[in-house]
Structure 1
Amino acid sequence: MIAGLVVTLLAAVFYNVGVLVEKSALTALPALRARAPVALFRTLFGRPLWLLGFVLMLLGLACQVTGMALLPITVAQPMLAVGPAIVVAGSALVLKERVSRADRRALVVIGCSLVMLGLSYDPREEPVAQADHPLAVTLVAALSGAVAVLVFAAAGRTGGGVVYGVAVGLLNGVGGLLGKACAAVLARTGRHAPAALAATPYPYLSCAFAVLMLGALQIGLQRSQASVLVPAQVVVGNAHVMVSGTLIFGEPLPADPVRLGLRWTALVVSLGVLALRQRATAAPAAPPGAAVVPARSALPMRRRPQGRHRRVT
Structure 2
Amino acid sequence: MERRHFNVTTLNAELSGVLLSSSKAPYRKTSCRRLLLIHGAGVAGELTWGFVANYLQDWDEILIPDLPSMGGSAFHPQVNVGDCFNRGVGFELYIDSLHELLRCFKWNDFSLGGYSFGGLLALHLSEQYSLRSLALIEPAALLSAHVSDLIDRGRLYHDMGNEISSSPNSEYLFLQFLNTVSPDRSSDEKMDALAIKRLMAKPLGLAHGVLAVGEALQANAADYAAWAPNMPGCSFVGGLSGQLMNERHRLLASRSLEWQFHEIPESDHGLIYTRPRQIARLMDASLHVGWE
TM-score by length of 2: 0.31
TM-score by length of 1: 0.29
